Structure 1
Amino acid sequence: MKVSLQDVFLKSPIAHRALHDEALGRAENNFAAIEAAIEHGFGIEIDIQQSKDGQAMVFHDYHLDRLTEAKGPFAQLTATELGQVRFRSGEKGVPTLAAILDHVAGRAPLLIEIKDQDGVMGPNVGPLEREVARLLQSYSGAVAVMSFNPHAIAVMADAAPQIPRGLTTCGYLPQDWPLLSEATRADLRKIPDFDRVGASFVSHQWTDLASERIQDLKGAGARILCWTIRSAAEAAEATLYAENITFESYVPA
């Protein structure tokens, strides 16, 4: 069953990892950045990783080093331990998805990207996706899920068929995806799983929006979002093809 992306996801730009600004004390994917995005009237994109004890946590990286004062792989810490981690922005604690859902409470459209847990975009996924699905059962706000890994979205199609689903996509350049084989990159470039997983949208790398496959999907009725826009000039170019942008490093008018 394909579920259409709600129109609210097309009405206002979407803040990438929320409206983060470390210098202003707003870490990526954390409460202050989320509240700032809500106050500006933006949609919000967040990322989901899994803790050691199977909790859905709102964090982008596979390692803690870039954003926090801790070090090492994210997945080696429990939710309780992650809740004690201090961010370089000064904030404390990696939020759980449950806490973020309670905080947003429908005040902004929420675009949830489930990070690949297999490592090479393969089928070794499932526990995190089912936990996300469980948490979304009682959420009444506008929400959609997406992932680079189509297997993750296939699990979501089974576990939460009522939630709009999409694929995060790009041109899969070798230098950007060194852990993937060229065969895997070539396959993913074709976005072959769009219909199989019941996707209704893609969020595509903005510099590749003119690709033939994206134009074919758009012509067939798919909603086209894009990532990651960092200036008004980029936004103007991207919106020649995409219906909405995901942005960071500037604030759209």
Structure 2
Amino acid sequence: MAVFSGLLYGLLALFLLYLLLLRCKRRLRRWPLLTQYRYAHRGLHDEAAGIPENSLTAFRRAAEMGYGAELDVHLTRDGRLVVIHDSDLTRLCGVSRQVEEMTAAELSGLRLRGTEEPIPFLEQVLPLFVDRQPLVIEMKVARNSVQLVDALCAALEGYRGDYCVECFDPWALYVLRLRRPDCIRGQLSKKFAGDKHVHPLVGFLAGNLLLNWLSKPDFIAYRYGDRRNLSLRLCRKLYRVQEFSWTITDAQQQKQAEDGGATIIFEGFLPQ
């Protein structure tokens, strides 16, 4: 009996620790503004129409049609913030180089997906959404989390628009929490099993939101196809955390996500 009791107490302690690791913050007072919008993934891009992802035209289009926008920021070698998804420029610009290795001047000469669209700087995108819809800004970290966070905080100083910041890296969100505790932060995550770029242990911890104790997120941005994850469901039920669901690609997914209370990040169709 003593062995059974000890085992039971041990399991209970582990479960309580699990719940503590999942703990999120809540900023319910500011959520109505951010959750009333739907967010165009990398802007309202349309490859067939010659509007590449994360381009100024894609962001203008989203703003003009009443959508918020999700965008990605990298830090250049000389400390500028550029809006582009991939660190490797091969897919988007046909150049086998890394964003973080290049200067702003070098990147300015490149064009997106065979169009005349340049890679935008963050300061070019921000004014498009002032007094309009909010932005979801994803930090793309490449072993430069402190420098990236500091550059982003400087860029957003005095910005009059509404925004929140998300990242896969909980350390970067921790640094952001120290620098700007008032900034709404989101922990990006998904099921990492089979991802060759992520160590299995790190993938397990991150995919099950067991690093929330470090990032203390105000919301969870979780991949739509992995939304049945137990940790995500516990965060929603126990901590009432807001969920952002990515990437929604049709009306049926939109309905399922929004019926479950999620805010959507979408592409490939126009939500109604």
Paired residue total: 246
Q: Per the alignment, do residues 166 and 237 of structure 1 end up closer, same or farther by CA in structure 2, a change over 3 Å counting? A: same
Aligned to 1:140: 160
Aligned to 1:101: 126
Q: Distance in 2 between matches of 1:192 and 1:239?
A: 25
Of 92, 102, 119, 1:67 maps to: 92
TM-superposed deviation, 1:242: 4.2
Q: Per the alignment, do residues 178 and 137 of structure 1 end up closer, same or farther by CA in structure 2, a change over 3 Å counting? A: same
Aligned to 1:78: 103
> Is 1:168 matched with 2:188?
yes
**Are the counterparts in 2 of residues 6 and 142 from structure 1 also a CA contact under 8 Å?**
no
Aligned to 1:15: 40
**Are the counterparts in 1 of residues 170 and 214 from structure 2 also a CA contact under 8 Å?**
no
TM-superposed deviation, 1:187: 1.0
* Larger deviation, residues 46-55 vs 236-245: 236-245
| Superimposed CA distance per residue, residues 80-131 of structure 1 (whole angstroms, 9 cap, x where no aligned partner) | 111111122523321111221133224211000001313xxxxx62101110
> Is 1:58 matched with 2:50?
no
> TM-score of the superposition, structure 1-length normalised?
0.91
**Are the counterparts in 1 of residues 26 and 241 from structure 2 also a CA contact under 8 Å?**
no
| Superimposed CA distance per residue, residues 16-69 of structure 1 (whole angstroms, 9 cap, x where no aligned partner) | 001011222322111100011111111110001111112111110011121224
Of 159, 178, 181, 2:199 maps to: 181
- What amino acid is the match of 1:125? S
Q: Distance in 1 between matches of 2:35 and 2:54?
A: 21
Greater fraction helix? 2
**Are the counterparts in 2 of residues 47 and 60 from structure 1 also a CA contact under 8 Å?**
yes
* Larger deviation, residues 141-150 vs 196-205: 196-205
Q: Distance in 1 between matches of 2:147 and 2:131?
A: 25
Of 74, 91, 105, 1:49 maps to: 74
> Is 1:222 matched with 2:247?
no
| Superimposed CA distance per residue, residues 171-230 of structure 1 (whole angstroms, 9 cap, x where no aligned partner) | 1121xx212111111111221232432311011011121222111111212101110011
Q: Distance in 2 between matches of 1:3 and 1:35?
A: 31
**Are the counterparts in 2 of residues 147 and 168 from structure 1 also a CA contact under 8 Å?**
yes
RMSD: 1.8
- What amino acid is the match of 1:231? D
Q: Distance in 2 between matches of 1:103 and 1:67?
A: 23
Aligned to 1:239: 258
* Larger deviation, residues 35-44 vs 3-12: 3-12
Aligned to 1:154: 174
Q: Distance in 2 between matches of 1:106 and 1:58?
A: 21
Q: Per the alignment, do residues 250 and 215 of structure 1 end up closer, same or farther by CA in structure 2, a change over 3 Å counting? A: same
> TM-score of the superposition, structure 2-length normalised?
0.85
Instruction: Detail structure 1 runs of 4+ shifted over 4 Å in the superposition.
Output: none
Q: Distance in 2 between matches of 1:106 and 1:31?
A: 18
Structure with max Cα Rg: 2
- SS of alignment partner, residue 185 of structure 1: helix
Q: Distance in 2 between matches of 1:84 and 1:3?
A: 43
Q: Per the alignment, do residues 142 and 179 of structure 1 end up closer, same or farther by CA in structure 2, a change over 3 Å counting? A: same
Unpaired runs of at least 5, structure 2: 1-23
> Is 1:112 matched with 2:132?
no
Q: Distance in 1 between matches of 2:204 and 2:62?
A: 36
- SS of alignment partner, residue 126 of structure 1: helix
TM-superposed deviation, 1:74: 1.9
- What amino acid is the match of 2:146? G
Q: Distance in 1 between matches of 2:131 and 2:167?
A: 22
